[in-house]
Amino acid sequence: MIELPDVERMIESIAGYTTGKTISTILIDDADIVEIPPEIATEYLEDHAVDSVERHGRYVVLKFRSEYSMMFDMGDNGQLRLESQTAPATERTKIRLQFAAGRELRFSSEGSEGVVTAVKEGEFSDTGALESLGVDPLSEELTPEKFSSLASKNARLTLKGFLLNQKAIAGIGNDYADEICFQAGVRPDQKVAQLLPEQLQQLHRYLRRVLRRATLHWSAAHSDPGWLINSREKGNACPRCSHALKSLRVTGRKTVICPRCQRAA
C-alpha cells in the first residue's frame, strides 16, 4: 500500500523537472483508470505548463497553468516517475505526459489500481476526494490536542482503524500504522475509547516521529533493524526484545505486533 512517505518521495523525485515545464502530448494507455475526457486533455492540459506538484494525503495533485489540475489517487501500488519518451509503455502504464523538454511523466500501477482525473479549479469539493480527507499528519495542525479530539470522535474504532481512517488523519497506511503502534508500545487491536491519556500522547509523538523519519530519511528508516517494518515480512523475532512477533487481523488488515512490547491499557 502506498503511504504518505512513499508519496513524498515520488513528488521529490519529479517536482524539480516537471514544475514550470510544458506538456506537449498526453497519451492515455488505460481509459479505465484515466478518467480524463479527451477534450479536456486537449484544451486545458496539453500545451500548458505544470505550475506545482502537491501532496494531499495520499493523492498527488499536478496543478497546471490553466484552470485545471490533474489528480492521481495512487491506489495500493501506483507510481509516478520520469522516463525517457523512447521507453516503451508496459502493461502497467496508465498515462504518459510528454514534456516538450524531452522526458515524460508516467503513471503506472498493477491491474486496476489508481485513478487519474482532471479537476477544474474551485471544483475539488465536487470530486469528494480531497474535501473529505482528514488532517495531514505532518502538518502543524496535528497538535496533541487535535489528535486527542480526533481520537474521541473515533472512540468506537480499534486504534488501527482510527489510524487508517483517512477522514480523520490522511496518509497513514497499514505498515506505518503498525510501526507507530509498535514504537509507542500500544496494541493496535484495542479500542480507542480504552486508551489512556499518556498512551494517546505517546501515539501522537511516535506518529510524527515515524512518518517524519520515513519521509526525510527513507533509506535509513527502511534499513533500521529496530523498526518493525523491516521485520514484518520475516514474521519472526521482535527487533526490540526478540520475542516472537504475532500476526493478527485487525479491521480486516494484516497486523504485526510484539505481544511483549505492546500492551493493552
Name the residue nearer to Zn ion (CB basis): 193 or 244: 244
- For residues 214 and 222, what is the distance between their CA atoms, to the nearest angstrom? 8
Which H or E element spans position 82? strand 79-84
* Residue placing its CB nearer to Zn ion in the complex, 10 or 238: 238
**Cβ 223 vs Cβ 202: under 8 Å:** no
Name the minimum Å distance from CB 3 to Zn ion: 23
Q: Which is nearer to Zn ion, 31 or 264 (CB)?
A: 264
| Closest CB to Zn ion: residue number | 238
> Taking CB under 5 A as the rule, which mask of x and - marks residues 145-184 in contact with Zn ion?
----------------------------------------
**For strand 246-250 and strand 68-73, is the pairing parallel, antiparallel, or unpaired?**
unpaired
Residue 24, burial from CB neighbour count under 10 angstroms (0-12, 13-18, 19+): middle
Using CB under 5 A, pick the residue from 103, 240, 246, 253 that binds Zn ion.
Answer: 240
**Phi/psi-derived region of residue 17, left when phi > 0, alpha when psi is between -120 and 50, beta in every other case:** alpha
Cβ pair 168, 152 in contact under 8 A? no
Say whether 100 sits in a helix, a strand or coil. coil
Taking the least distance from each CB to Zn ion, the nearer of 147 and 206 is 206
Nearest to Zn ion of 50, 238 (CB atom): 238
Q: Phi/psi class of residue 104: alpha, beta or left (left: φ > 0; alpha: ψ in -120 to 50)?
A: beta
Lookup result for grid cell 506537449: 24
Q: Which is nearer to Zn ion, 112 or 236 (CB)?
A: 236
Q: Which of the stretches 101-109, 166-174, 186-194, 230-238 binds Zn ion when contact is defined by CB under 5 A?
A: 230-238
Q: Does 241 bind Zn ion (CB under 5 A)?
A: yes
Contact 101, 65 (CB under 8 A): no
Closer residue to Zn ion in complex, CB, 36/238: 238
244 is an interface residue for Zn ion by CB under 5 A: no
**Minimal distance in Å, beta carbon 5 to Zn ion?**
23
Return the SS3 of 193: helix
3 state DSSP class of 227: coil
Distance CA 209, CA 217 (A): 11
Nearer to Zn ion, 172 or 258 (CB): 258
Q: Is residue 238 part of the contact set for Zn ion (CB under 5 A)?
A: yes
For residue 186, state whether it binds Zn ion (rule: CB under 5 A).
no
Cell output for 59? 493523492
**43 touches 20 (CB < 8 A):** no
Stretch that binds Zn ion, among 38-46, 170-178, 184-192, 243-251 (CB under 5 A): 243-251
Binding mask 55-94 for Zn ion (x = CB under 5 A): ----------------------------------------
Q: Residues 245-264 vs Zn ion: string with x where CB under 5 A?
A: -------------x-xx---
- Which residue ranges make up the site for Zn ion (CB under 5 A)? 238, 240-241, 243, 258, 260-261
